[in-house]
Amino acid sequence: MCATLSSIHAVCHAGTWSCDYTSVPGFESGKELSCDGLDNDCDGETDEDFEYKDDVHPNPVKIGAGCGAGACANGRVECKEDKTA
């Protein structure tokens, strides 16, 4: 996604070059909120800002964090194919 060079535009502001990723499909500026296995904020990491919470886990947990209890005590938060945790 972020490696699609035709979607990235180099911009010069006051003598400093920066990359404009806003044309990259699915780009998320600032904090990456999707759980889709993609680098949506073009920082080289995947789903690093996504936090999962539900009725059982009212405090947000990050991808890879433990999430189970009892028989599921070794469970880990991961993204599903439908792009949810």
Return the structure tokens found at 75. Answer: 């469970």
Strand partners, 17: 12
How would residue 83 be classed by pLDDT, with cut points 50, 70 and 90? low
How would residue 5 be classed by pLDDT, with cut points 50, 70 and 90? low
Q: Which residues, at least 6 apart from 85, have a Cβ–Cβ distance to it below 8 Å?
A: 35, 50, 52, 63, 77, 78, 79
72 φ/ψ angles, rounded to the nearest 5 degrees: -105, 20
71 φ/ψ angles, rounded to the nearest 5 degrees: -65, -20
Closest of 64, 19, 18 to residue 45, by C-alpha: 64
What is the value of pTM for the model shown? 0.61
